[in-house]
Amino acid sequence: MSENKRIMLIDNEEGLCRMMEAVLLDSGYGVKGYTRSFEAVEEFRPGDWDLVVSDIKMPGMDGLEVLQRIKAKEPAIPVIMITAYATVEMSIQALRRGAYDMLTKPFEPEELLYRVKNALKHTELLEENRELREKLVGKFRFDNIIGASDGLKGVLEKVEKIAIRDTSVLITGESGTGKELIAQAIHYNSVRKEKKFVAINCGALPETLLESELFGYRKGAFTGAKENRQGLLEAADGGTLFLDEVGNLPMNVQKTLLRFLQEQEFLRIGDTTPTKVDVRIISATNADLREGVKSGAFREDLYYRLNVVNLHLPPLRERKGDIPLLAAHFIAQQNKKFDTAIKGLSPDSLEAAVGYAWPGNIRQLRNVIEACTAMESGEYITLSVLSQFIELPEPRDEPAVEAEGEEGAYAQALSRFEMDYIRGLLRKNRGNVEAAAREAGMNMATIYRKMKKYNLRREE
């Protein structure tokens, strides 16, 4: 990740500035340090830098003004702010002005590297996702499809090819994987994009109501039919009709739909004259329609009419690389909606989210993020808040204690063991926290937390 990445450092404390410069240069980054904030802002050019690290308290132009001016020039660039006094008010000000992260003095070189890597990785993922959407979508509506995984790329590449071909598409995948978003992407990349996109969940309505909703009815066709009513198929004339959970269609509706797909016409309930419309059908299901065909619950001829092209959406557990992007997207939505400033998931909660199976897929992730942002009072969604909404495995690296506030012999022995173990890891790895965390199977944040708990320093 460090290859060709350029970082601007701004700190009026020359010694600290040079130390940070040396650490980052040793890690392969391109770095230039500035001890005068005015000079740094003046020389900042959009596209020249991948990250800015700036102190907050500086003479002349302080760090908050630096942040504001740099963001005005390049809004997307991540900025890490350094402060010796990380008050809540100051942090909120910095975050509201667009800071990516806060780093509190004094800090270890490894912590600086850790924060820098996180900021660059986050930006890299967002950029990859943006480039993917621009490449595949152009000016049309892929805005809500978030992800850069190979599985999603394959689907979007197929969408680009089939959107312009006016043929039936069957989208398969588990509940919550975003099948309707893909259907919308097909519609808005097709020649029908100026016409209506109409959607109906075939499993949400009873049989009698579903038939009238789809095909409409004539006045007097049944009790309560006091006037002619247009169905959704007719309302979508010239556009696209999306049939979600199409496997729930009753047999009589399947028959009428098949006739439409063959003749481009249908009969309203109670009508004797066919109604002709021009509609593209896109359907979706989380069930195996082939099993429905075998059991007789779904017409084989209709199945082949609907399944001219099949798109299968992978579940979120097979798109783990997309979870950070999706989480960031949903957090941004919540921040915008409720004027909050949550920066993201903490490192350990992000690790837990990526490792979770998400049986409800993207829909579940969105709901969990919404709940977490409502409960979280800090800058990041912590593991303690996240664990209220998803089931997490027992932590491997936390010492067991007999009871809260009770220091029995067993708890003391565990603490001594943990302190000696962390100290030994640091010695073995010559104070390199990242290497120690990797060897122990922990994340760096956990190692730093243990070092603080036991008052350990890497120099020891």
pLDDT digits (tens, 9 = 90+) for 411-436: 677 777 778 888 888 888 888 877 78
Per-residue model confidence (pLDDT) at position 139: 38
Whole-number Cα distances in Å, 274 to 38, 218, 253, 328: 75, 12, 15, 50
Q: What is the mean pLDDT of residues 77-88?
A: 80
Spatial distance between the Cα atoms of 18 and 185, rounded to a whole number of angstroms: 50
Residue 171 has pLDDT above 60, yes or no: yes
The pLDDT, as a whole number, for residue 88 is 64
Going by pLDDT thresholds of 50, 70 and 90, the confidence category of residue 384 is confident
**Residue 5 above 70 pLDDT?**
yes
For 53, phi and psi rounded to 5 degrees?
-120, 120
- Structure tokens given for 226: 């006091």
| pLDDT classification of 329: cutoffs 50, 70, 90 | confident
- pLDDT at residue 52 greater than cutoff 90: yes
**Average pLDDT, whole number, for the chain?**
84
Q: What is the dihedral of CA 297, 303, 309, 310, to 10 degrees?
A: 10
Instruction: Decide: 106 and 458 in contact? Cβ < 8 Å.
Output: no
Helix (H) or strand (E) holding 252: helix 251-263
Q: Tell me the β-bridge partners of 199.
A: 242
6 phi and psi, to 5 degrees?
A: -110, 130
Where do we find the tokens 């308290």?
57
pLDDT at 144: 63
Among the ranges given (4-8, 158-162, 228-232, 318-322), the one the predictor scored with the smallest mean pLDDT: 228-232
Percentage of residues in the chain having pLDDT higher than 90 = 37
User: DSSP class of residue 378?
Assistant: S
Query: What is the per-residue pLDDT for 422?
Result: 83
For residue 312, which phi and psi values (nearest 5 degrees)?
Answer: -110, 125
Report the alpha-carbon angle 169-174-175, nearest 5.
Answer: 100
Q: What is the pLDDT of residue 42?
A: 92
What integer pLDDT is reported at residue 405 of this predicted model?
44
- pLDDT at residue 387 tops 60: yes
CA angle, 129 as apex, 125 and 133 as ends, to 5°? 170
Q: Has residue 181 got a pLDDT over 50?
A: yes
Q: What is the pLDDT of residues 265-295, one digit of tens each?
A: 988 888 878 889 999 999 999 999 999 999 9
DSSP 405: T
Tens of pLDDT along 346-373? 888 888 899 899 999 999 999 999 999 9
What does the alpha-carbon distance between residue 202 and residue 247 come to, in Å, rounded to a whole number? 8
pLDDT, tens digit, 9 for 90 and up, residues 186-245: 998 899 988 999 999 988 888 778 888 898 887 776 766 678 788 899 999 999 999 999
Phi and psi at residue 204, in whole multiples of 5°?
Answer: -100, -5
pLDDT band for position 87 (cuts 50, 70, 90): low
67 touches 99 (CB < 8 A): yes
Kindly report whether the global pTM for this prediction surpasses the value 0.75.
no
